[in-house]
Amino acid sequence: MSSSVSSYSGFSPKEDDKIPVLDNVDHISPEEFYKDYVSKRVPVVIKSSLPESDWKGYLWKQEDYLLEKIGQSVCKIEPMDPSTGTFGQGMSRNEMTVAEFLQRIKAGERLYLTTQYDDSDDVLDGDDEVSLLVKSLCPAPTDKLLSDFSLTPALMGNLVPQQCNIWIGRSENGTSSGLHHDFHDNIYTVVKGHKRFVILSPDSALHLQLAGKISKIHQNGLISYEGEDRPQRSDGLTELDAAIAHTQFLEMKISDLKELQASEDIIQRLEAEYEAEMDNVLQMQLGGEAQDWDELQEGDADSLLDKSSNENDEGFSSADGGDQLDSEEQVSESGNEKPSLPDHFTKITVPGLHKYMGFDNAKDIIPSEEERTALSKTHPLVVDLEPGDMFYLPASWFHEVTSSSAEGESSIHVAFNYWFHPPDNLHNFDHPYEDRDLWKAKRSMVSKAIQRLYATSGTTEKRNWEGESSTSEKQTKKRVQ
């Protein structure tokens, strides 16, 4: 693969480099965290949880507490693939309550709970984009745990949340995710058990055996793949996503100007721009000649926009297999037939990787010549996480995760993570996304979804998420209010 596809400018470890470790986050501001780690695309281990104002997930160590909070929630549970001894290899998932799931894994069944679903799941059905975002942001059973965590932790500053997930399994010897990368920035917290990450920087893609064909590695490290329905932008959106968000921004702007009784000429110009953008969305959605938005029958336009949002907005389903894109263990809904590997997975086997890394528990399988050659051109780093540890991993860093219960225990392992849309305006804490107008609209939609989530759950957000707003802007708002 030609190095010309890569414009990555972030941290790329060399021999003997180590991942930085913070004792806690008490003495680092969100601005400092962004400057030192997020903007430089540097993974970092934090030997503590988020402040209690944002996080009480330590309560989930107690299985009785989990049962009380989410025992009756129905989730889709994945069985282990008997042919490989791993999860995420194409086995279909079955619905059951969390209580039944916990009972069955204690009885010895090899099952795994992940709250990430693709768009074929009715769990992600929604009447409109906000309804879809509500379910996508906090899929069951995490919606029953909202009193224990903030959807917008202060540490992550102005990054826009994409989803949160809980992962529960049981393994004394460890189960693996396979070597892959994700498409969002990740804050990962171990609640119970142990996690071992093997990580490689995004520019390692130039040497690894990927299932997909890379079109570009962006400056922020985000990897795009060939295919018109694949996200090609550095913020991870497809062109259709961006066009829809632009119409939402124009709607917001027109509404604001009407409230301010602005000039009719200005409003009409924006309305004409809005109509043109709607026509553009239709053309992209229909894949054919441009069609006038006004000529659609009533209801058709909303249907198309909802379909676009459902397929492409938060999960990028057509591009990346829905929310499967960001997954600790890749899950398929295609029955027991094994699908081809998603673009963002490598063909390097877990036994081959573990043997190359020299892990004590590696199977006695010699890596292939191709695997050894590929890995020898990279600088993998190992991160071991204990209960209470957090780990920040920027988008498109490759990683293989081995999950295990505590040594000598047969209890469950539990982890929780946040996904955030990857920033592409890396040197601006206040405005971390280059397409500012578009992300103003996206942020507004996410904010509405968060408000609806908390209203539905009967809890309140643990801090006021004002969203992307610089200090000077906040001061200006105070003066005019």
In which band, very low, low, confident or very high, does the pLDDT at 382 lie, cut at 50, 70 and 90?
A: very high
Alpha-carbon span 233 to 236, nearest angstrom: 5
Decide if pLDDT at 357 tops 90: yes
Topology of domain 3-229+321-480, per CATH? Answer: Jelly Rolls (2.60.120)
Q: What is the pLDDT of residue 310?
A: 40
Per-residue pLDDT band at 123 (split at 50, 70, 90): very low
Residue of 82, 89, 113 lying closest to 100 (CA atoms): 113
Region 375-402 average pLDDT = 97
C-alpha span between 320 and 205 (Å, rounded): 17
Distance CA 72, CA 228 (A): 41
Q: 330-368: string of b/e by CB count within 10 Å (b at 16+)?
A: bbbbeeeeeeebbbbbbbbbbbbbbbbeeeeebeeeebe
C-alpha to C-alpha distance for 202 and 217, rounded to whole angstroms: 7
Amino acid symbol at 438: L
Domain boundaries, the chain: 3-229+321-480, 239-313
> What pLDDT is stored for residue 322 in this prediction?
34
User: pLDDT confidence of 470, banded at 50, 70, 90?
Assistant: very low
Q: Grade residue 339 by pLDDT with cuts at 50, 70 and 90.
A: low
Q: Say if residue 340's pLDDT is above 50.
A: yes
Q: Is the pLDDT of residue 330 over 80?
A: no
Average pLDDT (260-267) is 93
pLDDT band at 112 (very low <50, low <70, confident <90, very high): confident
Helix, coil or strand: residue 329: coil
Query: For the chain, what is the mean pLDDT?
Result: 82
C-alpha–C-alpha distance, residues 381 and 162, integer Å: 27
Greater confidence (56 vs 284) lies with 56
Q: How confident is the model at residue 336 (pLDDT cuts 50, 70, 90)?
A: very low
Residue 376: other Cβ atoms inside 10 A: 10
Which tens digit of pLDDT belongs to each residue from 90-109?
557 789 999 999 999 888 88
- For the record, the structure tokens of 102 come out as 């916990």
Average pLDDT over residues 15-38: 96
